[in-house]
Structure 1
Amino acid sequence: MKLISTRGQAPAASLSEALRNGAAPDGGLYMPDVLPSADFADVDPQAPLGEFAAQLLQPFFAGDALEAELPAICAEAFDFPVPLVTPHPGEPRLQALELFHGPTGAFKDFGARFLMGCFDRLGVDQPLTVLVATSGDTGGAVGCAAEGRSAVRAVILFPKGRVSPFQERQLTCWGDNVLAVEVDGDFDDCQRLVKSAFANAPLSAEHRLTSANSINFGRLLPQLAYSARAALQVRAATGETPGFVIPSGNLGQGFALLLARALGLPIGPIVLATNANRTLKDWHDSGRYEARASVATLANAMDVGNPSNFERLSQLGVQPGDVRVELVTDAEIERRIKADYEASGYVWCPHSATTVEAWCRLSEAERNERPWIAAATAHPYKFAEIVEPLIGREVAPTPALAAILDRPTRKIRIGADLNALAEALSEQEAAA
């Protein structure tokens, strides 16, 4: 397989090269030149996710330098449960795919651990620097997955005042090879700095930069895998093709689902739930894409005004009618968390609450027409200051999340300026 840039001005790359590069040299995002044709009839959805993912993703790795390593990479990365649960006994057609049982309590653990396993094998001779912008959860997952690896350094940019207190702790508590950088700006400023660094060829080469954001095609492959497994499990149990409702920020999960459907996997209607950042909603309603400045919301990991992966949607030929987009306000997030807890005892994080709110907006006929899978993307403890007042009790952390509370933290602060980022990269390389 070869991967090509969405902007068409960069050489085609192998999968390993695309993972190593992160973004294409012309500033575009990598996409397969041709979607792999594969028969998924023999893929067992009841197999452990690591085994399932290695089977499902093999066509993407065929002929690549990492092909023989794929089973080991998947086994290492996906060693935690990924259950499908029924959050409300009175709504059996809705299942929650709980993606928060990894070490940092968010779905970003899948992509971060998978990529770090790849980077460990690609950076043996020359360590790579993973440069990542985060709106909340990606940075913590990358820091955790990178910690202690000899072939990887990580530099994590996060927006000042735009992450929850626990998220900031998760961003800043890792070992010497992980540097947290607080940026005076919003997530889009952080993302712009990352793209500018990659576009600066001397800077990128000096620090051997790569990315663990969803701009890296390798971040999307685990999302493709767990979505496909859930869909195949539901179809095996019911004989029906499920619809999906997912929270959407930078559009990585949305693209992964659309890619899965394009590959012929049993993915039905796709509903993208956004917060008050309305770029996708406006595109869906008008057919015109117009980037906006991001606004702060309770679902902060979705605070994205210019989703990078929209370039991939365009390349895949996705039209507004191919998905449904629902905008959910902070007040609606709060009401949904409170109402569902009172009705069933199930606790959503603010991001996951957008999914079930979007599902509730479907007509009764649409809800009952097929099974639906809602992505529950983060553990509610990570947003305890929002969730606990709404449900009237404390949310207990998982053992992995509780362990973070006793770690020392470290961060530096910079303006949203490429020169300041270059200095931070040099300091981190000297220290690691």
Structure 2
Amino acid sequence: MQPIEEALALKEELDALRPLTKEQEDIIMQKFRLDWNYNSNNLEGNSLTYGETKALLLHGITAQGKPLKDHFEITGHDEAIKWIEDLVKGDYPLTENFIRELHTLLLKSPYEVKAITPDGQPTTRRIEVGQYKTAPNHVKTKTGEIFRFATPEETPAKMHDLLTWYHTKSSDLETNPIILASEFHYRFIRIHPFDDGNGRTARILMNFILMKYGYPPVIIRTEDKENYFFALQQADAGIIEPFITYISQNLIRSLQIMISGAKGESINEPDDIDKEIALLEHRLKSSSEVLKLRKTKEVLLDVYDNSVAKLWNAFLIANRKFDRFYIHTKAALNLDAYRFESNTAFVEGREILERYDDHTAFNRIYMEYRFERFNRENFRNFDYYSIIIFHFDLVDGYSVEYQGKKLKKKYGMQLTEKEVESIITTISKAHTEHIEKEMK
């Protein structure tokens, strides 16, 4: 049986086992999410191991010595997966706005990367999120030839054509969803519409299409990347069938996992035990380090890069929603006696923390957002002050104080996405209630 036919047969077997219980779906999708997050990012050079990825997503444990950007790539990718998991349950259309929003979720915020100018000189290039590329992103092949993607000028029209093609195909009842999803992946990569993140975006969009048709996601394993890239290169040469076959083979693996889970059988794979051992070693190492950690420069920078950063960004986004109600607003980040009010406050704060004289004497970081003069007519003028404070103990760890509440964390343990969301929800609700009280 050909791979695509085998996948269709397994899909029928899976459909006969539906509906799955919520517990079955949760167990299966957690495995898919972890594998998907690790492999898709590792394919693009992310340094986090499978164990470190799992520790970050399930327990909020950051990997010592690994770049902050690598952690953000994993958490952004996880947010994007969860987003499309919700969307496939409804009739959400695939549009260019959807793709740009997905790209924004993945990459979170603009950043700079090293690049080479056309005349071979080193430079830096700013990567924008949720926007089509503004500079060519051609690549040099192993033979030294330049393989050209769509130019920035061509990209909007080509993306419009891609979506038109997709909607025509998806509205045809005779369309094979496996071929549709695979071909969409390749056509998207052939355009390469963004400055960065095209591979991750293409794989998520392919899986979004498959999941809309009731298939599980395809996981391209990092150890199989040579076969994956070779299949893409064959498609570049005009031979797309090997790529569709490759996607079908990996879909078979996902279908078999989902069928086993639907039957109540174990969905652990042979290499899962190796992953679990790696995770156990990571936990033991982390626990050991937590017991020894004191307030040092490295420990403070770890908290700053991985907890303060997440909360500061969320704090600004949440408070800016209230700007329109006041005449003047101002945000500031304070590190002990140092105060920063510019757009680069976080970077300036890190520079101060980096060269602080005595890190054992460093006590607190607090972020504030001042709202001055309520601007609605027929209501009394009033101000509002939103604040979050990080306190740093010598040995015990750090705490986050907000709206009369306090969250304590050990050094080496970072704020999770849920904790950040809870803090932001609390301060936003408090602000809303204050406005309502003043307007009565």
Scaled to the shorter chain, the TM-score interval is under 0.3
**Structure whose CA Rg is larger:** 2
Judging by fraction of residues, say which structure has more helix. Answer: 2
Please, what TM-score do these two structures have when normalized by structure 2? 0.23
Comparing both chains, which one has the higher relative contact order based on Cα–Cα distances under 8 Å and sequence gaps of 6 or more?
A: 1
TM-score (norm 1): 0.23
